[in-house]
């Protein structure tokens, strides 16, 4: 699948380095919430180490030869670059972590797109480390400083745990800022859960499992499910999913996979449930991702296997559904969403 989307924030992040306004340190630099793209390859960036918890972005960095941060590597760096996430509590906690990784006299360099909240991101960093140097380009703001003694240590302490794990939904699930619909049960997923028929049975998978809501509902509504594989790209969501399904995992085999679903699935299933993503990390709506999830589900289902899917009503998934499945039924349309059951032929190799 093509991911050739222009990444203006990444391009702008590196501008101060390319223009010689921020010196690339000989001891290397740490890049938090890193993404791959041509700016990382335009000139040598010796000692660059990247961290990324979203599997497709992690895989892209790895494929292009960027060194990825080892869990055991607790070094401090003279330059920490970051692309703050959109969710503000998560971004504030990431700033606090960036500072904890900075050597004395080191530089923090961050960039965000204007339409993703660049002004707030800049203001937040300034609260932590004082006045910043700022450049505005490519509809993004890039800002940096060598904070030295200007760090507001009390605020760093406060922000460090802003994205901590906590109970939501009256204590039924654990979640944290930054994961999909982190502080609630997503309305589309709830509609899908309420539509699931009790007779779904056999080996099941949840594609894009998030913190595990849909999986938990599938297990509580369908007693005939014999095993469950949860596939999720966001490492933090997956860790929550594992914890949220812990009690169920004593009853049946449950495996949680840090996995890019668009790359295909390693197993075969009788049931797949899915509320597919329709955005990538960067840029506008991406219905191609949802279509790819549907193709992957069709390929991974056994003859007679059933996909239960929820989608925004306007998303064009019909062709992918009709190509991959032998029977496609719209079960309901409500509140801007459609619930679809798609069934594979009972004949082996159906498609």
**305 touches ligand SAM by CB under 6 A:** no
Which residue shows structure tokens 């899917």? 309
Which one among 79, 275, 297, 344 touches ligand SAM, defined by CB under 6 A?
A: 275
Nearer to ligand SAM by Cβ, of 29 and 298: the residue is 298
CA 45/CA 25 separation, integer angstroms: 9
The backbone torsions φ and ψ at residue 334, rounded to the nearest 5 degrees and listed phi first, read -150, 145
63: alpha, beta or left? (left if phi > 0; alpha if psi -120 to 50): alpha
**87 touches ligand SAM by CB under 6 A:** no
Closest approach of Cβ 244 to ligand SAM, in Å? 11
Q: Return the residues of window 190-209 that contact ligand SAM according to CB under 6 A.
A: 208-209
Q: Which residues does 259 contact at the CB level (< 8 Å), separation at least 6? A: 55, 231, 232, 233, 265
Is 96:47 a contact under the CB 8 Å cutoff? no
Output the six-digit token pair for 30. 């740490």
CA 323/CA 307 separation, integer angstroms: 14
HSE-up (13 A, CA, CB side) for residue 93:
16
CA 236/CA 53 separation, integer angstroms: 7
Nearer to ligand SAM by Cβ, of 49 and 272: the residue is 272
Which one among 260, 271, 311, 328 touches ligand SAM, defined by CB under 6 A?
A: 260
Nearer to ligand SAM by Cβ, of 30 and 339: the residue is 339
Q: Which three-class secondary structure state does DSSP give residue 93? A: helix
Closest approach of Cβ 192 to ligand SAM, in Å? 7
Output the six-digit token pair for 216. 């938990």
Closest approach of Cβ 285 to ligand SAM, in Å? 13
- The DSSP element (H or E) to which 219 belongs, if any, is helix 213-221
Closest approach of Cβ 233 to ligand SAM, in Å? 4
Closest approach of Cβ 283 to ligand SAM, in Å? 13
| Nearest residue (beta carbon) to ligand SAM | 208
Nearer to ligand SAM by Cβ, of 77 and 337: the residue is 337
> Between 187-195 and 213-221, two packed helices, what is the crossing angle to 10 degrees?
20
Output the six-digit token pair for 322. 């009709």
Closest approach of Cβ 221 to ligand SAM, in Å? 14
Which one among 233, 254, 298, 339 touches ligand SAM, defined by CB under 6 A?
A: 233
CA 184/CA 173 separation, integer angstroms: 9
Measured CA angle at 141 (ends 140, 147), to 5 deg: 155
Nearer to ligand SAM by Cβ, of 143 and 293: the residue is 293
Which listed range, 21-29, 100-108, 170-178, 257-265, lies at the site for ligand SAM (CB under 6 A)? 257-265
Which listed range, 11-19, 108-116, 218-226, 231-239, lies at the site for ligand SAM (CB under 6 A)? 231-239
Nearer to ligand SAM by Cβ, of 158 and 183: the residue is 183
Nearer to ligand SAM by Cβ, of 148 and 336: the residue is 336
Is 266:240 a contact under the CB 8 Å cutoff? no
Which listed range, 36-44, 233-241, 244-252, 336-344, lies at the site for ligand SAM (CB under 6 A)? 233-241
Q: Return the residues of window 104-143 that contact ligand SAM according to CB under 6 A.
A: none
Other C-beta atoms closer than 10 Å to the C-beta of 78 total: 20
Instruction: State how far the alpha carbon of 297 is from the alpha carbons of 142, 249, 253, 321, in Å.
Output: 40, 23, 20, 10
**231 touches ligand SAM by CB under 6 A:** yes
Count of residues of this chain found to bind ligand SAM when the rule CB under 6 A is applied: 20
Q: List residues binding ligand SAM (CB under 6 A).
A: 56, 180-181, 186, 189, 208-210, 213-214, 231-234, 237, 260-262, 275, 277
């Amino acid at each position: 699948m093509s991911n050739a989307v222009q990444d203006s924030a990444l391009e702008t992040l590196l501008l101060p380095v390319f223009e010689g306004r921020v010196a690339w340190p000989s001891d290397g630099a740490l890049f938090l919430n890193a993404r791959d793209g041509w700016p990382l390859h335009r000139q040598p960036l010796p000692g660059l180490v990247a961290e990324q918890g979203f599997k497709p972005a992690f895989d892209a960095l790895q494929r292009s030869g960027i060194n990825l941060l080892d869990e055991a590597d607790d070094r401090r760096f003279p330059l920490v670059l970051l692309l703050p996430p959109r969710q503000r509590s998560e971004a504030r906690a990431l700033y606090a972590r960036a500072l904890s990784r900075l050597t004395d006299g080191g530089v923090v360099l961050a960039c965000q797109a204007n339409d993703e909240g660049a002004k707030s991101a800049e203001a937040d960093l300034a609260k932590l480390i004082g006045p910043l140097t700022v450049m505005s380009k490519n509809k993004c703001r890039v800002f940096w400083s060598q904070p030295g003694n200007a760090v507001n240590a009390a605020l760093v302490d406060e922000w460090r745990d802003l994205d901590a794990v906590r109970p939501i939904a009256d204590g039924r699930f654990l979640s944290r800022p930054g994961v999909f619909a982190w502080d609630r049960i997503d309305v589309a997923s709830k509609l899908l859960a309420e539509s699931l028929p009790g007779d779904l049975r056999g080996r099941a998978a949840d594609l894009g499992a998030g913190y595990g809501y849909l999986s938990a509902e599938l297990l509580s509504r369908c007693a005939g499910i014999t095993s469950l594989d949860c596939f999720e790209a966001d490492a933090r969501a997956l860790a929550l999913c594992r914890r949220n399904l812990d009690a169920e995992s004593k009853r049946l085999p449950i495996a949680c996979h840090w996995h890019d679903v668009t790359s295909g699935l390693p197993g075969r299933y009788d049931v797949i449930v899915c509320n597919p993503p329709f955005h990538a990390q960067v840029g506008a709506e991406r219905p191609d991702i949802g279509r790819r999830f549907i193709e992957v589900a069709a390929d991974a289902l056994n003859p007679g296997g059933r996909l239960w899917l929820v989608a925004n009503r306007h998303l064009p998934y019909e062709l992918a559904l009709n190509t991959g499945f032998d029977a496609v039924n719209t079960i309901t349309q409500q509140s801007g969403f459609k619930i679809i059951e798609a069934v594979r032929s009972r004949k082996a190799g159906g498609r």
